Each structure stands twice: as structure tokens, then as C-alpha cells.
């Protein structure tokens, strides 16, 4: 898939061997396994994954099966970055310094309950590559709000719409001064693969937030996840950018080309919105984009 | 090998723990500071700064993250050590279960300190005894020398049983008191403790994982495997101690009988109270009373058979519990009663809450309690001793 809207060098080709096998337990139409398949395709087999309770833990498969051809350690929900740190240090002590230690966590395990140890691992600049598979809520438990759930979105625990805005994880982590933070989406695949390859070549703490539109949690058509992923970027609600060393910002897409309303219209979680709430969301996205442009200037 | 002839040096219990850890050559040591454990951490980082300790030392933001890091480090095939106390141990509680479930042979020293609230910093074993159902092997020590020896022995037990071990030392009485300690040579410890080489580990050359969702039957089978491993521990601990004696000349036993020959009344306790009780027993013996001490060094799994043998023929067991389980009394007394349940000729077991919250327990007071033990009728479930 060519992707003319993103900047940067072409994505490297993936290995012949697929590291995510068919037969996994994801919901039909979910783009999370598609995303992880490309992530692992870029990283290659010398990779170990820490996967806390999340959709990805289900996709990885129940014992004795595994959909992943790499070692997996499943920690407690709140401890992924700490577990990955311990794993990293053990491999270093054994001389296995080139093995990539990655985290494949959801937004609940990252923005909420896992943020404390995530901050600590970032502060220590642990040599781990952390992927937040961000579907903007606790979708594996039936769709409750997390601190990644956007303003006004309806969830199982915010049926009338969330009253608070989405937490800015990328900037929180970047404020630790870590070498690499980026956002990416499977809807912009070349950009995603380039960023994974770039992160792979950097030592130290790296975080990629990957937007995963959730069919059930967001109320999308069964074939609507990729379109939602592209709309999220094109309207500016989920901008694609990189932050290097906590200060050097690069925006990886053109200015928003769609009104936010077109993105909202794809999703049942926004069906209750008033015209005024839609206007407020558009203003918030505009404000976020303007701030991002100032930082990248 | 015969007893090693190292000269004694003055060490605190905490520094003895750090020496034990250093000699065991762990490869990863995540650690978080908490009073009164901090000298363990500081001594290890000092060893490392001097180039004498090459473990990966990891200093996360909490004890919770310490234990979270310990488990996959161990599963990746690294020998792992850490130390904590009190609230830190309680914060780890979820991960203590996770570690034993993962069969991760981590060794952790715990400095027994009161549990808040209210805040206090005194010796009390409620912190570790409250973890008795987490699947960790638990040992209690009474001196700095025993702390060093037990940390090294703990790695051998842990790596044979594939279960984590908690080595408990009382706050201040053991952790901060300076005592003469013989520090074995590195060669002695290397001869005793082979490198950690598990049959299975997290390895990209042979991908496998840990933690996947299992069925009811798989879960139950896993718990039975943990129980089978626990059942081996009294013998493994006794063997580890005998081998240590062969290498160093020092042995501490799994259960120790002190002046129990012909004793009708025996004091039973854990940790530093054993040292105090030895003095009380010596005084009582000098005065002609048939009194002894049984020290419980291995608490989990409780070596029930060894305890029944140690207390055979004893009329009264006076259990001193420096801990408190509200509504149930002292934990060691409960455990001892369970060990004797249904046994013919079981001693009367007097459960004494003694020194809870760090209240001082002098030997004379223990002697008074022994002499005031009423003969011939069932004791109350618990008594608050003063």
C-alpha cells in the first residue's frame, strides 16, 4: 500500500516468516492483529514481548496455544514497563543485548494503571520499545472509559458521554526526555512501518502510540476500522508525529483535510452529540493541531 | 570441605544480608529503599561502585515495580535478589502470588517491621506472616551470621524447588545490631552454590511464554505441582543446611531444639525472640526447671513432622508470637495447633502475643511467663503478655 500523505523514507520489507499466525482470537475485522503483524514483521524474530491483560493478550492465545512465534511474558495489568525493564536487564546480564524487548499493552494498561511504572522506566531510559495499542477504552472488559477515551465519547461507564478530555500520552512520555516517541496508525501503513524501523535502531526508551479503532467499542461497521483510522488522522483528532529527545517535533502528515464531524459520524459512541458538542470537539482538535505546529516550528 | 577459617568481622544484619547476596552472585537486583532495609540497598550499590558486584541493579519507583521486574528477569534465566520491609512487602502482595505461580526462584530479604496504620518502625513479623499463603518459602533468622548464611542457602533451596524464598530478619534487633560475622570466601560459596541454569527460560531461540490464560483443569494441576514442590522443601532446606555446614562448619537447622532434653515446658518462637528465649531457658535451667526452646527457622512450609518430633513428650508449648492476626491471635500458635491437630500426646499450646509492635521482651519476662503457665487445663486461644 502506498501512502503519499506521510513523510520519511520508505518502509523496510518485512521478513518472509510471519511472526503472528492465523487462527488467533481477535474479533473479525479488528485491525489490532494487522497492526501487530506489521510491527513484528519489521522487528523480526529476535524479539520478546511483554503483554499485559488486554485485547492483545487474548489475541496471543490461550494456553497451550500461541499466535506469536516469539517468547511472550504476560505480567499483571499495571506492571508492563517494570516487567519489561527486568526482562531487559536479565538479557543484558546474559549478554543478549541485541534482543528487542517490547511491550504490547492497551491504553488502560498504559494511560491509567500502568502509568506510574511507565514513567519510572522512561526516567531510567530503559532500553525497551513500548507499544500502546490505543483503542481508547477498556474494550477487552466490555468497553468502559479509560483516560485515553476522548471527550464526549459514550462508553459502558460514561453512557452520557465522557466529561474529561483524552490524556496526551505522547507528550507526557516525551517530557521525560526519552530518545523517541511517536504516534502511528495502520491506516497509514508506510509511516507506521518506518517508525517501527526507526525505533528499532534506537537504544533507550521508545514509545509508539498506535491507534486501534475498535469495532464494538466505537460502534463501527464491521469493515470500518481502517476507514476510521484514516479519518482520525485526516481530521487531526489523532495526528501523526514524532518527538525525539523530548524536544524535536516532526509532524508526519499534511494539515487536517476533513472536519471532525466526518470522523464522528462513523462511530456510534458519538451518536448522542449535540451540534454544540461537535463544535467544541472541532475547537479542541484545532487547538491541539495549532499547539503541535508551534512545537514542530 | 572442612570449616573455613575466616576471621570474624563486625557486621549489622543488613550488611550481612548484602554480603550473602554479593557472594551468591545474582545477575539482576531490583530494589527500592524502605526503613529499616535501606542499608542492604546501600551496601549493594557500594559494592557495585567499587567493582565488586556486577549485578544489574534496577531502582524503580516502587516495591511493586521491583517485584514486577524480578519475575521475568528470573524467567529469562537470571539469578535475582531483592530486599524490602513492611509496607514494601505488602505493596508487593499481588506479585508475590505471581512470582510463585511463575515458579520464579527469586530470593528476597524482608526486614520485619510493623504494618501501618498507625505508622511505626519497630520489630514485628505481621508483614511477612500475612504473606503465608502467597507460595513463598519463608525462613526466619535470629542473628547477622544466620542472615548471611541463610541468604546463600535460600538461593540453593529456591533454585532446586523452583519457588521463591523470603528470608526474614527482625527490624533493628537483627537488621541494625552489630555482631561478629564470619564472611565465607567467594570460592567457598561458589563451591556450594552452582550457577543458576534452569531447564526452561524465555529465549528467542526457543520461543515459549508464561502467563497465558489456562483452563480450570490446567490451573488446578499447576497448583498441585506447586504443592508437590513445597512438600520437598523441608528436606531440601535440611540438605542445604547440612551442605553449608560441610563447607563452612555452620549449621542452623530447619527446626532447632535448644536444651530440650527432658523438658516438660518448651518455648516456641521465630526470629530474634529465639535469642532472648535462649537466655531465659539458660536461667531457668540453672534454677533447676526442665525448660527448653524450639526455634522455627523454616516457617513455610511448616515442617510439621519435625515440629511434632521436636515437641514429643512435652506437656506445655509456650508460643511467643511477635505478630497479630486480629480475631485469630498469633500466627505461629495457629500453625502449631494445626500441625498437632488430631495427634495423640500433643502438648497444650499456649498462644502468647509477646512483643507485638516491637514492645521489648526481656528474658526475665519470658521466664516469668514459663513459670506462671498453669498446668493441666486448656489455655485460652490467645493471651496478651505484659
Domain match, B297 and B173 both? no
The closest CB to that of B218, out of A63, A78, A119, belongs to A63
Q: Is the CB of A79 less than 8 angstroms away from the CB of B73?
A: no
Q: Which of B31, B197, B204 to mutate to test the interface with A (most CBs of A within 10 A)?
A: B204
Q: What are phi and psi of B191, to 5 degrees?
A: -70, -30
pLDDT of residue B273: 98
pLDDT of residue A1: 34
Domain match, B158 and B276 both? no
Three cell numbers, residue B140? 526466619
Domain match, B227 and B156 both? yes
- Residue B227, classified by CB atoms within 10 Å of its CB into exposed (0-12), middle (13-18) or buried (19+), is exposed
The closest CB to that of B78, out of A58, A93, A119, belongs to A93
Partners of residue B65 in chain A, C-beta under 8 Å: 79, 81-82, 85, 116-117, 120
- B2 occurs within a structural domain: no
pLDDT of residue A277: 98
CA distance B141 to B154: 12
For B283-294, what is each residue's pLDDT tens digit? Answer: 999 999 999 999
The yes/no answer to whether this complex scores an ipTM above 0.85 is yes
Which residues of chain A from 259 to 288 reach within 8 Å of chain B, CB to CB?
none
The closest CB to that of A73, out of B60, B75, B218, belongs to B75
Rounded to a whole number, what is the distance in Å from the CA of A199 to chain B's nearest CA? 20
The closest CB to that of A120, out of B55, B65, B202, belongs to B65
Q: Residues of chain A whose pLDDT is less than 70?
A: 1-16
The pLDDT confidence band at residue B375, using thresholds 50, 70 and 90, is: confident
The pLDDT confidence band at residue B377, using thresholds 50, 70 and 90, is: confident
* Domain range for B155: 8-248
- Give the helix ranges, DSSP H, for B31-121: 38-49, 63-75, 86-91, 93-101
Locate the domains of chain A by residue range.
Answer: 32-296
CA distance B267 to B289: 13
- B286 occurs within a structural domain: yes
pLDDT of residue A9: 46
Q: What are phi and psi of A27, to 5 degrees?
A: -60, 140
- B221 occurs within a structural domain: yes
Rounded to a whole number, what is the distance in Å from the CA of A75 to chain B's nearest CA? 7
In sequence order, the 6+-apart residues with CB closer than 8 A to the CB of A139 are A55, A106, A214, A216, A217
pLDDT of residue B386: 84
Yes or no: say if B336 and B345 are a contact pair by the CB < 8 Å rule: no
What DSSP designation does A112 have? I
For A84-135, what is each residue's pLDDT tens digit? Answer: 999 999 999 999 999 999 999 999 999 999 999 999 999 999 999 999 999 9
pLDDT of residue B379: 83
Q: Which of B213, B248, B283 is the last residue in one of the domains? A: B248
Domain match, B158 and B295 both? no
Question: What is the greatest pairwise CA distance in chain B?
Answer: 69
Yes or no: say if B136 and B82 are a contact pair by the CB < 8 Å rule: no
Q: Which residue of B has its CA nearest to A61?
A: B212
B72 interfacial to chain A (CB closer than 8 Å): yes
The closest CB to that of B207, out of A58, A70, A75, belongs to A70
Over chain B, what is the mean pLDDT? Answer: 96
Domain match, B56 and B182 both? yes
DSSP string, B110-142: EEE-PPSSSP--S--THHHHTTTTSS-EEEEES
Three cell numbers, residue A109? 494498561
Domain match, B216 and B321 both? no
Domain match, B341 and B321 both? yes
Q: Which of B227, B248, B269 is the last residue in one of the domains? A: B248
Sole residue written with cell 464522528 = A264
- B1 occurs within a structural domain: no
Give the domain CATH number at B15.
Answer: 3.40.50.970
CA distance B124 to B116: 11
For B233-263, what is each residue's pLDDT tens digit? Answer: 999 999 999 999 999 999 999 999 999 999 9
Pick from A98-107, A123-132, B29-38, B336-345: least confident: B336-345
How many C-beta atoms surround the C-beta of residue A141 within 10 A?
13
Domain match, B285 and B208 both? no
Q: Which of A53, A90, A127 to mutate to test the interface with B (most CBs of B within 10 A)?
A: A90
pLDDT of residue B4: 56
In sequence order, the 6+-apart residues with CB closer than 8 A to the CB of B226 are B100, B101, B103, B135, B163
Yes or no: say if A269 and A219 are a contact pair by the CB < 8 Å rule: yes
pLDDT of residue A13: 52
- B3 occurs within a structural domain: no
CA distances from B6 to B18, B84, B176, B314 (A): 17, 29, 22, 39
Which residues of chain A from 118 to 147 reach within 8 Å of chain B, CB to CB?
119-121, 123-124
Domain match, B236 and B305 both? no
What DSSP designation does A238 have? S
- B300 occurs within a structural domain: yes
**Domain total in chain B:** 2
Looking from the CA of B258 toward its CB, the CA atoms found within 13 Å total: 23
Domain match, B305 and B242 both? no
CATH topology (fold) of A32-296: Rossmann fold (3.40.50)
Residue B181 forms beta bridges with which residues? Answer: B9
3-state secondary structure of B30: strand
Give the domain CATH number at B340.
Answer: 3.40.50.920
B30 interfacial to chain A (CB closer than 8 Å): yes
In sequence order, the 6+-apart residues with CB closer than 8 A to the CB of B160 are B232, B236, B240
Domain match, B230 and B336 both? no
CA distance B132 to B95: 14
CA distance A117 to A103: 13
Domain match, B243 and B272 both? no
Residue A240 forms beta bridges with which residues? Answer: none
Amino acid at each position: 500500500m502506498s501512502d503519499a500523505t506521510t513523510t520519511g523514507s520508505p518502509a523496510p520489507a518485512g521478513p518472509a516468516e510471519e511472526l503472528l499466525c492465523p487462527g488467533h482470537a481477535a474479533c473479525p475485522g479488528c485491525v489490532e492483529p494487522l497492526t501487530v503483524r506489521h510491527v513484528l514483521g519489521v522487528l523480526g524474530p529476535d524479539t520478546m514481548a511483554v503483554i499485559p491483560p488486554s485485547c492483545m493478550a487474548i489475541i496471543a492465545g490461550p494456553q497451550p496455544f500461541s499466535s506469536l512465534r516469539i517468547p511472550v511474558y504476560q505480567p499483571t495489568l499495571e506492571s508492563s514497563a517494570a516487567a519489561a525493564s527486568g526482562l531487559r536487564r536479565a538479557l543484558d546480564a546474559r549478554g543478549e543485548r541485541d534482543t528487542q524487548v517490547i511491550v504490547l499493552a492497551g491504553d488502560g494498561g498504559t494511560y491509567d494503571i500502568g502509568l506510574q511504572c511507565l514513567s519510572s522506566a522512561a526516567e531510567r531510559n530503559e532500553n525497551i520499545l513500548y507499544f500502546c495499542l490505543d483503542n481508547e477504552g477498556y474494550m477487552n472488559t466490555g468497553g468502559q472509559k479509560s483516560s485515553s477515551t476522548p471527550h464526549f465519547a459514550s462508553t459502558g461507564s460514561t453512557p452520557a458521554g465522557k466529561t474529561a478530555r483524552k490524556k496526551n500520552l505522547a507528550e507526557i512520555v516525551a517530557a521525560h526526555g526519552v530518545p523517541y516517541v511517536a504516534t502511528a496508525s495502520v491506516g497509514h501503513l508506510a509511516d507506521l512501518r518506518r517508525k517501527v524501523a526507526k525505533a528499532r535502531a534506537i537504544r533507550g526508551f521508545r514509545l509508539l502510540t498506535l491507534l486501534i479503532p475498535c469495532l464494538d467499542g466505537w460502534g463501527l461497521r464491521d469493515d470500518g476500522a481502517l476507514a476510521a483510522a484514516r479519518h482520525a488522522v485526516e481530521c487531526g483528532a489523532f495526528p501523526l508525529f514524532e518527538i525525539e529527545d523530548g524536544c524535536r517535533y516532526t509532524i508526519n502528515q499534511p494539515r487536517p483535510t476533513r472536519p471532525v464531524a466526518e470522523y464522528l459520524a462513523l462511530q456510534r459512541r458519538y451518536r448522542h452529540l449535540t451540534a454544540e458538542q461537535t463544535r467544541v470537539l472541532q475547537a479542541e482538535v484545532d487547538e491541539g493541531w495549532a499547539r503541535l505546529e508551534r512545537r514542530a516550528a | 570441605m572442612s570449616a573455613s577459617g575466616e576471621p570474624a568481622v563486625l557486621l549489622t544484619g543488613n550488611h550481612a544480608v548484602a554480603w550473602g547476596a554479593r557472594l551468591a552472585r545474582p545477575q539482576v537486583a531490583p530494589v527500592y529503599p524502605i526503613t529499616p532495609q535501606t542499608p542492604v540497598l546501600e551496601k549493594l550499590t557500594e559494592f557495585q561502585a567499587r567493582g565488586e558486584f556486577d549485578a544489574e541493579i534496577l531502582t524503580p519507583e516502587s516495591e511493586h515495580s521491583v517485584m514486577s521486574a524480578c519475575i521475568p528477569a528470573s524467567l529469562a534465566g537470571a539469578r535475582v535478589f531483592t530486599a524490602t520491609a513492611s509496607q514494601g512487602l505488602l505493596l508487593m502482595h499481588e506479585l508475590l502470588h505471581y512470582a510463585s505461580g511463575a515458579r520464579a526462584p527469586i530470593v528476597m530479604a524482608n526486614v520485619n517491621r510493623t504494618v501501618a496504620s498507625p505508622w511505626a518502625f519497630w520489630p514485628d513479623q505481621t508483614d511477612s506472616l500475612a504473606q503465608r499463603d502467597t507460595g513463598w518459602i519463608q525462613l526466619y533468622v535470629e542473628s547477622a551470621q544466620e542472615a548471611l548464611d541463610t541468604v546463600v542457602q535460600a538461593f540453593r533451596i529456591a533454585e532446586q524447588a523452583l519457588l521463591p524464598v523470603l528470608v526474614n530478619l527482625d527490624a533493628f534487633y537483627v537488621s541494625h545490631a552489630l555482631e561478629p560475622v564470619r564472611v565465607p570466601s567467594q570460592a567457598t560459596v561458589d563451591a556450594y552454590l552452582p550457577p543458576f541454569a534452569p531447564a526452561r527460560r524465555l529465549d528467542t531461540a526457543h520461543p515459549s511464554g508464561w502467563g497465558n490464560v489456562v483452563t480450570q483443569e490446567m490451573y488446578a494441576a499447576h497448583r498441585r505441582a506447586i504443592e508437590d514442590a513445597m512438600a520437598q522443601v523441608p528436606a531440601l532446606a535440611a540438605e542445604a543446611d547440612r551442605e553449608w555446614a560441610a563447607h563452612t562448619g555452620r549449621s542452623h537447622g530447619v527446626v532447632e531444639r535448644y536444651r530440650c532434653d527432658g523438658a516438660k515446658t518448651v518455648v516456641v518462637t521465630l526470629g530474634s525472640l529465639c535469642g532472648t528465649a535462649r537466655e531465659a531457658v539458660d536461667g531457668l535451667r540453672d534454677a533447676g526447671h526442665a525448660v527448653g526452646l524450639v526455634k522455627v527457622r523454616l516457617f513455610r512450609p511448616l515442617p510439621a513432622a519435625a515440629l511434632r518430633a521436636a515437641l514429643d513428650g512435652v506437656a506445655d508449648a509456650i508460643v511467643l508470637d511477635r505478630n497479630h492476626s486480629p480475631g485469630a491471635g498469633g500466627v505461629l500458635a495457629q500453625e502449631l495447633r494445626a500441625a498437632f491437630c488430631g495427634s495423640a500426646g500433643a502438648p497444650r499450646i499456649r498462644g502468647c502475643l509477646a512483643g507485638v509492635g516491637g514492645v521489648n521482651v526481656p528474658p526475665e519476662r519470658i521466664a516469668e511467663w514459663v513459670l506462671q503457665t498453669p498446668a493441666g487445663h486448656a489455655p485460652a486461644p490467645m493471651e496478651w503478655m505484659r
